[in-house]
């Protein structure tokens, strides 16, 4: 097997470039840990180092978002004294020397078969307070593919590295000696140039991230081979727009959750439940349930876990994601799916993104409001009037937003999804 040059690039972040040789040196300089470790850092390189080191020596690790506030940490039962923000002496001196990617790949394969290692992380908090979930490598790597054919890929890393989607992209890359170009925290207007100059071949991100990126895509990214959407509802109209900028790419839709990891993949918006998974999945009254055997360790009261995802069952083995249960609002006795309303409004030519937010109302329970990001050189008053008219022509009356607000950007959760928290 080709082990690659030790000077192959592992990570590009800002103006820094780390090679695989840098990675080995850093890993071999850290002392072994013999206790549970909490890691909080905004530097993805240090997060990746922490994950690999904990895997090597099989000690449990918990990843905390770099922007968790002190009050949030206290609610989680943590204090700053319990958290490591850097590699520092912890116990005895390391007794293993990792000197090549081949050695790391063999170690990962061993850990996949038998390991006590675990990693705890948090849900995105896009609809409320984040929940802690613990995974072992087997559940994290369920859909990670590693072989010679996957070597040489260059990944644009567009997820938070402390969340489930980011960890899975990281494992896919590191297991195949790929290069990572970290774009999650980069100014969005600079990302297209990075994708082009670094010859990025693969990217996985939320639909919200792609919508934010789209206005800045001006040229074709000929190197792109695969574009994956995950974490939010698959948007076929968005994909059509992206196809003109990624003409050689295959598009994939992935269904995953922090609680269960990656479960389904599809070329479009229809997921197929494979024969090997049929005993692990149920659809009851339009909601997706998964068996506790495929989940990470988290509080589950029954054998089947209600995901909160509403789906349309097309056959015994096929379904489409509709929305989260929390994205269905009661307006005057009518159930309204905010994703449906957003999808319609996104067709209006004067805006680039939209978030529909419920607002409490004494008469109807809730009314809908819409926050929109406008295209340049559009008069606000005229835009609001035209959006309302457009909505009235394309939606039933109770689905039409009563208040339109112009905002510079749509709030996002820590995982890059559109935030659904109502801050009213």
How many domains is the chain partitioned into structurally?
A: 3
The H-or-E segment that residue 361 falls in is strand 351-361
- Asked if the model's pLDDT at residue 64 lies above 90, the reply is no
Distances (CA, A) of 138 to 112, 171, 232, 275, 323: 6, 12, 24, 20, 28
| CB of 224 closer than 8 Å to CB of 179 | no
Do residues 298 and 401 share a domain?
no
Q: Which of the listed residues 224, 252, 280 is the one where a domain comes to its end?
A: 252
Distances (CA, A) of 124 to 10, 68, 200, 213, 418: 26, 12, 26, 21, 10
Q: Is residue 263 included in any domain, yes or no?
A: no
Stretch 206-221: mean pLDDT? 93
Q: For the domain that residue 376 is a member of, what is the CATH number?
A: 3.30.300.30
At residue 124, the pLDDT reads 64
Quickly count: other Cβ atoms within 10 Å of residue 381's Cβ: 8
**Which of 280, 265, 340 is closest to 310 using CA atoms?**
340
Side-chain-side CA neighbours of residue 48 (13 Å): 27
Produce one character per residue of 61-92: b if its CB has 16 or more CB atoms within 10 Å, e if not. Answer: bbbbbbebeeebbeebebeeeebbeebeebee
Measure the CA–CA gap between 232 and 272, rounded to whole angstroms: 17
282: domain range?
269-325
- DSSP bridge partners of 227: 203, 251
Same domain for 129 and 188, yes or no, is yes
The CATH number of the domain holding residue 155 is 3.40.50.12780
Which pLDDT score, from 0 to 100, does residue 2 have? 42
Rounded distance between C-alpha atoms, residue 263 and residue 413, angstroms: 22
Pair (105, 193) in one structural domain: yes
> pLDDT of 285-321, one tens digit each?
999 998 888 887 755 667 888 888 889 999 989 999 8
| 320 and 337 within one domain | no
Judge whether 260 lies within some domain.
Answer: no
Is residue 123 scored above 50 in pLDDT? yes
Q: How far apart are CA 423 and CA 125, in angstroms?
A: 13
pLDDT mean over 177-190 = 95
One domain, residues 298 and 219: no
Clarify whether residues 347 and 319 are in a common domain.
Answer: no
**241-251 tens-digit pLDDT:** 999 999 999 99
121 and 82 within one domain: yes
Alpha helices in 143-217 (DSSP H): 164-175, 191-197, 207-213
- Distance from the first to the final alpha carbon of the chain: 57
Let me know: does 387 contact 130? Beta carbons within 8 Å.
Answer: no
Domain assignment present for residue 1? The answer is no
pLDDT given for residue 341 in this prediction:
93
Is residue 164 domain-shared with residue 59, that is, in the same domain?
yes
Q: Looking at the domain assignment, is residue 188 inside a domain?
A: yes
pLDDT of residue 6: 59
Confidence of residue 326 (pLDDT cuts 50, 70, 90): confident
Residue owning tokens 């990025």: 200
Find the length of the chain. Answer: 424
pLDDT number for residue 146: 87
What's the pLDDT tens digit per position in 359-382? Answer: 988 877 889 999 999 987 788 999
pLDDT of residue 355: 94
Residues 191 and 305 in one domain: no
For residues 39-61, average pLDDT: 88
CA distance 65 to 164: 12
What is the rounded distance in angstroms from the CA atom of residue 367 to the CA atom of residue 365?
7
Residue 287 lies in a domain: yes
**Residues above pLDDT 90, as percent of the chain:** 42
Torsion of the alpha carbons at 203, 208, 211 and 212, rounded to the nearest 10:
-90
**What is the token pair recorded at 2?**
């080709």
Give the angle 130-205-135 at the CA atoms, nearest 5°.
Answer: 45
User: Does residue 264 belong to any structural domain of this protein?
Assistant: no
Under 8 Å between Cβ of 73 and 38: no
If 0-12 CB within 10 Å is exposed, 13-18 middle and 19+ buried, where does residue 51 land? buried
| Residue 84, domain member (yes or no) | yes
Rounded to the nearest 5 degrees, what angle is found at the Cα of 273, between the Cα atoms of 261 and 295? Answer: 25
Q: Does 376 lie in the same domain as 298?
A: no
Shared domain for 149 and 176, answered yes or no, is yes
Cα(123)–Cα(25) distance, rounded to whole angstroms? 32
CA distances from residue 89 to 22, 33, 92, 152, 365 in whole angstroms, order as listed = 19, 8, 8, 35, 56
CA–CA dist 342, 263 (Å, integer): 26
For residue 257, being part of any structural domain is answered with no
In this model, does residue 90 exceed pLDDT 50? no
- Whether residues 208 and 354 share a domain: the answer is no
């Amino acid at each position: 097997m080709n082990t690659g040059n030790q000077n192959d690039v592992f990570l590009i972040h800002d103006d820094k470039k780390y090679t695989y040789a840098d990675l080995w040196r850093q890993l071999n300089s850290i002392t072994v840990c013999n206790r549970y470790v909490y890691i909080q850092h905004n530097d993805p390189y240090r997060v990746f180092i922490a994950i690999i080191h904990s895997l090597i020596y099989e000690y449990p690790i918990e990843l905390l978002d770099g922007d968790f506030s002190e009050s949030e940490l206290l609610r989680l039962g943590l204090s700053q004294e319990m958290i490591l923000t850097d590699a520092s002496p912890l116990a005895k001196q390391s007794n293993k020397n990792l000197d090549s990617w081949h050695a790391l790949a063999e170690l990962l394969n061993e850990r996949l078969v038998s390991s006590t290692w675990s990693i705890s992380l948090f849900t995105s908090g896009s609809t409320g307070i984040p929940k802690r979930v613990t995974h072992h490598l087997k559940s994290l790597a369920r859909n990670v593919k590693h072989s010679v054919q996957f070597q040489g890929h260059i990944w644009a890393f567009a997820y938070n590295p402390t969340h489930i989607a980011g960890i899975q992209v990281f494992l896919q890359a590191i297991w195949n000696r790929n290069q990572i170009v970290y774009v999650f925290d980069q100014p969005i207007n600079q990302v297209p140039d990075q994708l082009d100059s670094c010859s990025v071949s693969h990217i996985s991100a939320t639909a919200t991230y792609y919508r934010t990126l789209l206005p800045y895509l001006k040229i074709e990214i000929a190197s792109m081979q695969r574009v994956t959407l995950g974490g939010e509802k698959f948007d076929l109209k968005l994909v059509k727009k992206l196809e003109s900028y990624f003409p050689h790419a295959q598009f994939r839709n992935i269904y995953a959750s922090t609680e269960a990891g990656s479960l389904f993949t599809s070329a479009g918006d229809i997921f197929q439940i494979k024969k090997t998974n049929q005993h692990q999945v149920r659809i009851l009254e339009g909601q997706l349930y998964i068996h506790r055997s495929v989940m990470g360790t988290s509080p589950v009261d029954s054998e089947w876990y209600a995901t909160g995802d509403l789906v349309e069952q097309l056959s015994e083995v096929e379904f489409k994601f509709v929305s989260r249960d929390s994205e269905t609002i009661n307006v005057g006795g009518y159930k309204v799916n905010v994703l449906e309303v957003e999808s319609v409004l996104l067709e209006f030519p004067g805006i680039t993104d939209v978030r529909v937010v419920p607002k409490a109302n004494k008469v109807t329970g809730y009314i809908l409001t819409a926050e929109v990001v406008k295209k340049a050189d559009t008069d606000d008053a005229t835009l609001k009037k035209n959006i309302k008219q457009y909505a009235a022509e394309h939606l039933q009356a109770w689905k039409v937003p009563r208040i339109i607000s112009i905002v510079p950007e749509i709030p996002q959760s820590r995982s890059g999804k559109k935030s659904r928290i109502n801050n009213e």
